[in-house]
A and B are shown apart, each in its own frame.
Chain A
């Protein structure tokens, strides 16, 4: 079955520290991959996406993600976290060519301490 796993429910980091959020997927072929961020009471904002090509993807707000086919992973990273990055982060997958029917993970809540 197709699925997305975000192993970390809650992560706490200090402001200025580096961040890595994990995402593993189960899919028949190499899917389209996405990272979204959601602030409390808000909708989803796309941080970055991977369709094909270079496996290191740059996104908005200084985020990047690396696709590793051998590990079925698409981890999100940021070198220096800001207090405003505190939010819920979702990894999602979609069938190649299909950006509408996405399967989301259960999310990782990021808390940032000053």
Chain B
């Protein structure tokens, strides 16, 4: 049974560009959350999606947006990339109390 799948695993973008990260939840999970983990820091909550709607949001600017599809997969979009957006982006999926993190997408902004 596949866990949470995130793609791509690594990517490099230039300042000002836009990026889309993807997350396929664990089979049976219906809720997806996104976290940003800067180097040497703990993860920070970006937002959570359930039933294709953003349900909770952390302290991130509107440049960070997301989407959840009917098959529960999710995308994280970041516009106007800044150097400070360089981080590991983690996706977590959940159903009831069963929650699993993916291995993340390493985004480098140059």
Chain B contact-residue range equals 20 to 34
A30 located at the interface, meaning its Cβ lies under 8 Å from any Cβ of chain B in the complex: no
B43 adjacent to A104 (CB under 8 Å): yes
A99 located at the interface, meaning its Cβ lies under 8 Å from any Cβ of chain B in the complex: yes
B45 adjacent to A103 (CB under 8 Å): yes
B101 adjacent to A104 (CB under 8 Å): no
A99 adjacent to B90 (CB under 8 Å): no
A interface residues, how many (CB within 8 angstroms): 20
A102 adjacent to B45 (CB under 8 Å): yes
A100 adjacent to B92 (CB under 8 Å): yes
Classify the interface of chain B: helix, strand, loop or mixed.
strand
CA distance A45 to B104 in the complex (A): 12
Q: Which residues, 78 to 105 on B, are CB-close (under 8 Å) to A?
A: 90, 92, 94, 97, 99-104
User: What are 12 A-to-B residue pairs whose CB atoms are below 8 Å?
Assistant: A36-B101, A42-B103, A43-B90, A44-B101, A46-B101, A100-B33, A100-B99, A102-B43, A104-B43, A104-B44, A105-B42, A107-B40
Beyond A44-B92, A100-B99, list 16 extra A-B contacts (CB 8 Å): A41-B103, A42-B104, A43-B4, A43-B90, A43-B102, A46-B101, A99-B94, A99-B97, A100-B31, A100-B55, A101-B33, A102-B45, A103-B45, A104-B43, A106-B40, A106-B41
